[in-house]
Amino acid sequence: MRPLISAVAAAALFSGTAFAQPCMRPAEKAAFDVAGLKSELMVVAIACQLRDKYNGFVGRYRSALVAQERALNGYFSRTSGHRAQQEHDVYITNLANSQSQDGIREGTLFCTQHLSMFDEVMALKSDHELAGYAQTKGLTQPIALIECPVAPVRTPRAKKVRTADTK
């Protein structure tokens, strides 16, 4: 049993996967959702010969995609230190691979089932809707997207006002 545990631990360390993944702040979670959407659309574009639609998506949402990429960089810097770029690259590679595998499993239905995503995303009214849209799609991710718990907001207690007793 001990060799199996050692092999699993070594594989996790070698692959860059940690047993306890740090949680994500809300902006970081949104960035992972958008990265998942961008990757999914890229996989659809390649598999279904829709490169022009993908290029249109990137062109329209360029500023939002750049901002989300900065948030991803922030997460990896915060959680991985000097290995941030390497961990980011591993994530992007694993994301594309896992979504490509989903496409392979779906076979000929893949293009039919995913083509409408381009129309849906291009119909959004603003860049600010992109993360919300991505979150609703239930896209494949190679890691668990665990949000950090939100600290309860403390409201100040009303101070007791002392009044003079008048008789």
In tens, the pLDDT along 7-33 reads 333 333 334 444 467 899 999 999 999
Which of the residue ranges 4-13, 56-65, 98-107, 121-130 would you say has the lowest mean pLDDT? 4-13
In tens, the pLDDT along 131-156 reads 999 999 999 999 998 999 876 666 66
Q: Which of 146, 118, 134 is nearest to 43 (CA)?
A: 118
142 burial level (CB within 10 Å; 0-12, 13-18, 19+): middle
Report how far residue 131's alpha carbon sits from residue 72's, in angstroms, rounded to the nearest whole number.
13
pTM of the entire predicted model: 0.77
Mean pLDDT of 111-136: 95
Domain ranges of the chain: 20-136
Residue tagged 């996967």 (tokens) = 17
